[in-house]
Amino acid sequence: MDFDDKMWAGVKSGALGQSEDDVVGNSPGVRRELTESIRSLPRWRKGVRWKKIETRRKIVGGSQKACRELGRS
């Protein structure tokens, strides 16, 4: 971030005399929350992938069942 970006960040937040970290929020709670969110992303992606696989299996299973029923009729 260059000087102009820092200046505009301070103007937008009303904090010209503060450092860049203070403008964003430099508290342990903010850092902890961000860290926890980042750590949960792989679990979230794994869950999404599992849900897609589960849904596909249900669709394929239903299609196979319908084909069997139509074939016997």
> Do the Cβ atoms of 20 and 8 come closer than 8 Å?
no
What residues contact 39, with CB distance under 8 A and at least 6 apart? none
**With bands split at pLDDT 50, 70 and 90, how would you rate the model's confidence at 33?**
confident
* Owning domain of residue 45: 25-73
**With bands split at pLDDT 50, 70 and 90, how would you rate the model's confidence at 48?**
very high
Of 29, 26, 23, 25, give the one whose Cα is nearest residue 11: 23
- Domain membership of residue 71 (yes or no) is yes
The pLDDT of residue 53: 94
The pLDDT of residue 56: 94
Task: Tell me what the mean pLDDT of segment 12-39 comes to.
Answer: 68
- Domain membership of residue 38 (yes or no) is yes
- Take residue 3 and report the two structure tokens written for it: 């000087």
How do residues 54-72 score in pLDDT, each as one tens digit? 999 999 999 988 888 888 6
Number of domains in the chain: 1
- Domain membership of residue 17 (yes or no) is no
C-alpha span between 55 and 61 (Å, rounded): 10
